[in-house]
Chains A and B, each alone.
Chain A
Amino acid sequence: GAVVSQHPSWVICKSGTSVKIECRSLDFQATTMFWYRQFPKQSLMLMATSNEGSKATYEQGVEKDKFLINHASLTLSTLTVTSAHPEDSSFYICSALRLAVIYEQYFGPGTRLTVT
């Protein structure tokens, strides 16, 4: 089956620092990946669509200069949270789009970010 990995699975950082989260499709190529954020006991909110070889498309209200997305290859997208603040603490989940009969999203296991 299609497998998507995320690294790291959890990270603790200090306010003001930057954190990079990787999302990899392990056994398929993905021209499109998505980044979601999930606060405790809440649903997933789409942050941005990551397109290989082009700029990411951000959802309304998501600061593109704060959440840098790079989709440099067909199997890797990275999300960098710049100048992190405690309110950025959240569960970040990526997904990769794979074309089968229809396009299906395969989700990574998530990254827990805690900013102190």
Chain B
Amino acid sequence: SQQGEEDPQALSIQEGENATMNCSYKTSINNLQWYRQNSGRGLVHLILIRSNEREKHSGRLRVTLDTSKKSSSLLITASRAADTASYFCATDARETSGSRLTFGEGTQLTVNP
């Protein structure tokens, strides 16, 4: 079963605004990753944050990780219409072997021009 839960399920904003998506998980993790998926396409890896890290930046992306609350957030600043996509968090759980990822339910982001 999916251990990741994301909220909101859908988010609609205007270009230039910031978008924040949250992810919660249930088990101890080695790392947490965020992916983007355009409709009907494959996954694009955005950022990986390790269990001993609290915050990470990549361009307009900012990811936080709170292992005590088992949650993570993805912030996209100054959003663009091209950011419209589904965003998934995925966890690499500590108790499983082989780097298997468990995906969250995803957030559908729509950025209106």
* Chain B residues in 8 Å Cβ range of A105: 45, 99, 101
* Chain A residues in 8 Å Cβ range of B100: 34, 46, 49
**For the complex, what is the distance from the CA of A41 to the CA of B99, rounded to whole Å?**
25
* Size bracket, chain B contacts: 20 to 34
Chain B 23-61 interface 0/1 with A at a Cβ cutoff of 8 Å (1 = within): 000000001000100001111010010000000000000
**For the complex, what is the distance from the CA of A36 to the CA of B4, rounded to whole Å?**
16
Chain B 1-30 interface 0/1 with A at a Cβ cutoff of 8 Å (1 = within): 010100000000000000000000000000
Of the candidates B31, B99, B103, the one whose C-beta lies within 8 Å of that of A44 is B103
Contact between B42 and A43, CB atoms less than 8 A apart = no
* Chain B residues in 8 Å Cβ range of A108: 42
Chain A 36-79 interface 0/1 with B at a Cβ cutoff of 8 Å (1 = within): 10000111111001000000000000000000000000000000
* Size bracket, chain A contacts: 20 to 34
* Chain A residues in 8 Å Cβ range of B113: none
* Chain B residues in 8 Å Cβ range of A97: 98-99
Contact between A107 and B41, CB atoms less than 8 A apart = no
A60-116 residues with Cβ-Cβ distance < 8 A to B are 91, 93, 95, 97, 102-110, 112
Residue A32 interfacial (CB < 8 Å): yes
B78-104 residues with Cβ-Cβ distance < 8 A to A are 88, 98-104
- Determine how close the nearest CB of chain B comes to the CB of A104; give it in whole angstroms: 7
* Chain B residues in 8 Å Cβ range of A107: 35, 42-43, 45
Contact between B43 and A93, CB atoms less than 8 A apart = yes
Of the candidates A43, A91, A93, the one whose C-beta lies within 8 Å of that of B2 is A43
* Chain B residues in 8 Å Cβ range of A102: 31
